[in-house]
Structure 1
Amino acid sequence: MLQLYVDQDFFSPYAMAAFVALTEKGLPFTVLTRNLDGGEQFESGYRAQSLTSRVPMLVDGDFHLSESSAIIEYLEDAYPDTARVLPTDLQARARARQLQAWLRSDLLPLRDARTTATVFGFKAAEPLSPAAQAAADKLVSVAEAVVPADGGNLFGDWCVADAELALLLRRLTQDELPLRLAAYADIQWQRPSFAAWLARQPR
């Protein structure tokens, strides 16, 4: 059976993306946790398997893979008869990857100001700094350009880019987020795969 290593608090957005992808594909898998604050990701046994000593890490037999974007693409290729979590159309898939890459590499002031502990309700949101507000404005501008007018999925059928964009938008739920984007994020948040992740968080 597949194994997925995640952080013990279930806060990592990257681990969440891999978990959601596995869940949406209907693949049976076991969740294992690492105490990141305690440095368990740097223990020799884990480091020998995880190239980056981070979470998530997927274990498929004797194959080990780190980095959620690589994990998601591996699952698409290795298990083609399961539900797709990336668009099948070539250009739509490229656009989904483009959005994912941008969400992961930009907006650092916003991600620092509104960590996933805030998103998941474990920490109160604080006012945004000018740099974080600028990042928030950039996020809203991009989201308004890519979210369909009806607030539906980005590329017709659901894909993991929907989950990743929704998580970023949820960092702004206590700010003046445009109604269409707030509704889009809320709808995504209600998916069973999201609920399964949230249910594992210690309360």
Structure 2
Amino acid sequence: MSSPIPSLFLYDHPASSYAQKVRMALRLKNLPFTKETPQNLGLGEPNASFESANLRMEVPALIIDSDFKIFDSSVIVQYLEDAFPDAPSLLPKDPRERAVARMIEEMCDTAYEAINWALGEVFWFGRAEGKEAERINAAAADQTKQIHEWLTPHLGSKDFFNGDAPGLADICVAPVFHRSVLRGLGPAKDSALDRWHTRMGEVPAIAETWREMEGGVQGMSNAGPGFWAPHSGRRREYRDHRLEFLMKNGAGWIVNKGLEDDNVRFGRFPRVN
């Protein structure tokens, strides 16, 4: 007899690639959950409940039975695998295939996510214009293509990276890949990755999550220019892989300008003046 499922509450944002990964995992494992986007996320304002779940004040963070709190999408998904063995597994049984899935997760959570983040800095926040924006966009397009070329042989002739059904690798690729498609940086039509993307969109757990993401992006679009203004108080978080993309592509000046304007941040802790 299986154990009862505890209450699962997710601090979430519909457009976050990391939060999307967790929502896909919960849905593929048929685990009921509730979710909420922390009020004023990114503004650095006090939120004791959110901070108690994640000192970094980042999404996603998962609260189990109101008292056990964990954060980081990879930690959360691994917890779900360990805690709910009777639910559909997201990992293949073969150790080599598991290693490949985790390697894909690492690549998507760092290098791939950073590309989409940088494009958001240009498109949403207008941190670069003219030739500088063109250079960043060109670098993003080239590096996205390289990642797609790296992913293709790992997919091979399978329906999903995980085999016959979506698994860990699929839910790590899906959020960042779908964002690329929406930005016109998808793969060639009828390529293996293009067909995989179509199949993923036919999986209810994935389709629901993508709809939430698209709705969240539309909501940000509808927020008006004041939402994105340099002095709106909204601070974008620059993690290490995001910084790396900007630095290696000659956009370190964006970081310095953001520090001057006080509209970038580095994790939960305040920087020292």
Give the TM-score normalised by structure 1: 0.82
> Shift of residue 108 of structure 1?
5.4
Is 1:155 the counterpart of 2:162 in the alignment? Answer: yes
Q: Report the residue type matching 2:197 in the other structure.
A: A
Q: 1:196 matched to which residue of 2?
A: 208
AA matched with 1:48: S
Summarize the alignment of residues 76-95 of structure 1 with structure 2, pairs less than 5 Å apart: 76-95=81-100
Q: Aligned partners of 1:77, 1:142: CA distance in 2, in Å?
A: 29
Specify the SS of the correspondent of 1:73. Answer: helix
Where does structure 1 lack aligned partners over 5 or more consecutive residues?
119-125
Looking at structure 2, the residues matched to 106 and 142 of structure 1 have their Cα atoms a distance apart, in angstroms, of: 12
CA displacement at 1:49 relative to structure 2: 2.2
2:187 equivalent to 1:177: yes
Measured at CA, do residues 5 and 109 of structure 1 come closer, stay the same or move farther in structure 2, by a change above 3 Å? closer
Check whether the contact 1:5–1:34 (CA below 8 A) recurs between aligned residues.
yes
Counterpart of 2:148 in structure 1 is 140
Change (3 A) 1:129 1:48: same
- Pair 30,175 (structure 1): closer, same or farther in 2 beyond 3 Å: closer
Aligned to 2:61: 57
Cα offsets for 1:59-88 (capped at 9, x unmatched) = 112110000100000010011111112223
> Deviations 1:111-159 (Å, cap 9, x if unpaired)?
13544xx9xxxxxxx9762321221121121122211235x11131420
Match of 1:2 in 2: 8
Task: Give, in whole Å, the separation in 1 of the partners of 2:76 and 2:186.
Answer: 34
Structure 2 letter corresponding to 1:91: R
SS in structure 1 opposite 2:170?
A: helix
Q: Does 1:107 align with 2:121?
A: no
- The aligned amino acid for 1:52 is R
Which structure: larger Rg? 2
CA-CA distance at 1:57 after TM superposition: 0.6
CA distance in 1, matches of 2:56, 2:151: 30
Give the structure 2 partner of residue 121 of structure 1: none
Cα deviation for residue 54 of structure 1 reads: 0.7
RMSD: 2.4
Distance 1:58 1:89, change over 3 A: same
Instruction: Give the letter aligned to residue 23 of structure 1.
Output: R
How many Å separate the matches in 2 of 1:11 and 1:109?
Answer: 14
TM-score, with structure 2 as normaliser = 0.62
Instruction: Report percent identity of matched pairs.
Output: 27
- Among residues 12, 17, 23, which one is paired with 2:21 in the alignment? 17
Number of residue equivalences: 190
Q: AA paired with 2:209? A: W
DSSP-derived class of the 1:105 partner = helix
Instruction: Give the aligned residue type for 2:94.
Output: D
Structure 2 unmatched runs, 5+: 1-6, 124-132, 219-273
- Residue type at the aligned position of 1:195: A
